[in-house]
Homo-oligomer: A and B are copies of this chain.
Amino acid sequence: VKRVTKGVTRFTMAVRRTISATDVAKHAQVSRTTVSYVLNERSDVSIPTATREHVLKIARDLGYQPNRAARALVTGRTHMVALYAERVHTPVAASILYHFQKEAAKHGFDVTVGTNLSRFVPQVVDGILAIDSPTSIQKYIEENGPLNLPFVSIGPYFVDSVDYVGVDFATGTQQALEHLVSVGCRRITFFYDGIIPDFENAVDPRCRTYAAFMKEHNLPAEYVRVPYGSPRHEARTTIREYVRNSSQLPDALFCRYDELAIGAYCGLRAEGIRVPEDIAMVGCDGIEEMEFLETPLSTIVQPFEHLCVEGWKFLKQRMEEPGLPQQTLLLPPHLEVRASSLR
């Protein structure tokens, strides 16, 4: 069967014409198939070393670059994975992006970033790594049905119906609170943002564990809520108002995450409150910034790199074998005790 080209130059649109596998085949005097086999390093077909070397050389000389769109079209794999987060703008997301990108690159995958799940449909990415956003994902699924895409959730706050690499912030929180109690704190206030209707049954282990711990130790649970917005700014404003309106400060502030802690610290200092003398502080996440404040802040450190290494492994396995049973892993965080909670 011969295809007949009727018209003259039909395609004005495909501007860039790059070197294709056909070109390599022509120059190397072999068929496109052979080129494909060589370039894909297929072990099931045996190509004589001479032919292989020759094809490889020609490809190199011609500067051949496989067309990823064409490959994606036929294989159904784009070699692109997504990093999803509600807010990509945070130090935590930046750190995870860095490590995840590094892992993915090792296996020839590129990483795209976004805050909109519906962009990441099949044929755009082969899989998704989601940070710390179970509620928005559950909401998405309710509205759009399941994302038929390899999906791994990571962080202290994960979706537990899919593959996840969690951080055991329940234990982390327990340790942090025990530490605070051990240095003499009794009134430990939970400093948080978001909407938590019921702390004892909250999805977030930090909330749950705090509530349980305080109850168990017969200590007063106190909550200070930061309104939604820029966490540092809102935290600073909130704590300043709180300080002004309080007759007596609590012994310690346990912050849901580091950025809140940083805003709070700044606000406290601006009000002349000393940390840890007047109030001790512990945050969660372990972003670098916490170590570089005048009083370095204690925090529950997430193992970012480990998280990404394992997250990538899970995602890769899931992409290769979608039918796999659910894979889960819970990594221990590390309580980094610094000056802010030593007294």
Q: Which residue of B lies closest to A267 (CB)?
A: B292
Near B by CB (< 8 A), chain A positions 228-253 give: 230, 232, 236
Q: Which A residues, 118 to 144, have Cβ-Cβ distances below 8 Å to chain B?
A: 119, 121-124
Beta-carbon nearest neighbor of A263 in chain B? B292
Given contacts A112-B80, A236-B292, contact A75 B14 (CB under 8 A): yes
- Asked whether A112 and B110 contact (CB < 8 A) given A16-B76, A69-B72, A73-B69, the answer is yes
Chain B residues whose CB sits within 8 angstroms of the CB of A291 once the complex forms: 232, 266
What are the interface flags for A56-96 relative to B under an 8 Å C-beta threshold, 1 for contact and 0 otherwise?
00000000010111101111101010000000111101110
Q: Which residues of B contact A3 (CB under 8 A)?
A: 1
A127 to chain B, nearest CB (A): 12
Among A22-30, A97-105, A162-170, A277-285, the stretch in contact with B: A97-105
Q: Which of A88, A119, A263 has the most CB of B within 10 A?
A: A88
User: Is there a chain B Cβ closer than 8 Å to A148's Cβ?
Assistant: yes
Closest to A72 in B: B69
Q: Considering the chains assembled together, what is the distance between the CA atoms of A73 and B13 in angstroms? A: 11
A72 to B119, CA, bound (A): 16
| A interface residue count range (under 10 / 10 to 19 / 20 to 34 / 35 or more) | 35 or more
Determine the chain B residues whose CB is within 8 A of the CB of A123 once the complex forms: 18, 65, 67-69
Q: Is A289 an interface residue (CB 8 A)?
A: yes
Chain B residues, Cβ within 8 Å of A89: 94-95, 98
Contacts A88-B97, A91-B91, A292-B263: A73 and B73 contacting too (C-beta < 8 A)?
yes
Number of chain copies forming the complex: 2
Most buried by B among A75, A76, A266: A76
Minimum CB–CB distance for A70 against chain B, Å: 5
A44 close to B (CB within 8 Å): no
Give the Cβ gap from A138 to chain B, nearest Cβ, in Å: 20
- Interface: A116 (CB within 8 A): yes
Cβ-based interface call for A324 (8 A): no
Interface centre among A115, A230, A292 (most CB of B within 10 A): A292
Known contacts A1-B3, A110-B114, A111-B112; 12 additional CB pairs below 8 A are: A13-B75, A18-B122, A65-B121, A65-B122, A67-B73, A88-B97, A88-B98, A89-B95, A91-B91, A101-B115, A262-B292, A266-B293
